[in-house]
Amino acid sequence: SAVISQKPSRDICQRGTSLTIQCQVDSQVTMMFWYRQQPGQSLTLIATANQGSEATYESGFVIDKFPISRPNLTFSTLTVSNMSPEDSSIYLCSAQYGGNQPQHFGDGTRLSIL
């Protein structure tokens, strides 16, 4: 089964600071994604992390706020920039192992901003 590791698993941050979340997959994958899950809510796609090129962002999410890197086929990072209390959420990484394969998720990063 898929092994998707996220670091950190949780953090408490001061407003105005930035945090980078790492996602490591156990084997090469075609696609990686970043989702946000606000407290008690469902998952919303932030962006698709493209290997070797800029991420593709969904409506309502911008690169300046959520810069994403994907330097290779097994690793991606999401930075939450200039954080405010409204950014307190679970941030989840997912990976798709092939074109017709379902997405699998990491355990998420629980972020609280004071």
Partner 1 sequence: GQQLNQNPQSMFIQEGEDVSMNCTSSSIFNTWLWYKQDPGEGPVLLIALYKAGELTSNGRLTAQFGITRKDSFLNISASIPSDVGIYFCAGQLGQGAQKLVFGQGTRLTINP
Q: Tell me which residues touch partner 1 (CB under 8 A).
A: 4, 31, 33, 41-45, 48, 58-59, 92, 94, 96, 100, 102-108, 110
CB of 102 to partner 1, least distance (A): 4
- Residue 86 in 3-state DSSP? helix
CB of 1 to partner 1, least distance (A): 9
The whole-angstrom separation of Cα 76 and Cα 65 is 16
CB of 110 to partner 1, least distance (A): 8
Contact 16, 83 (CB under 8 A): yes
Which CB atom, from 69 or from 103, has the smaller least distance to partner 1? 103
Q: Are strands 109-113 and 10-13 parallel, antiparallel or unpaired?
A: parallel
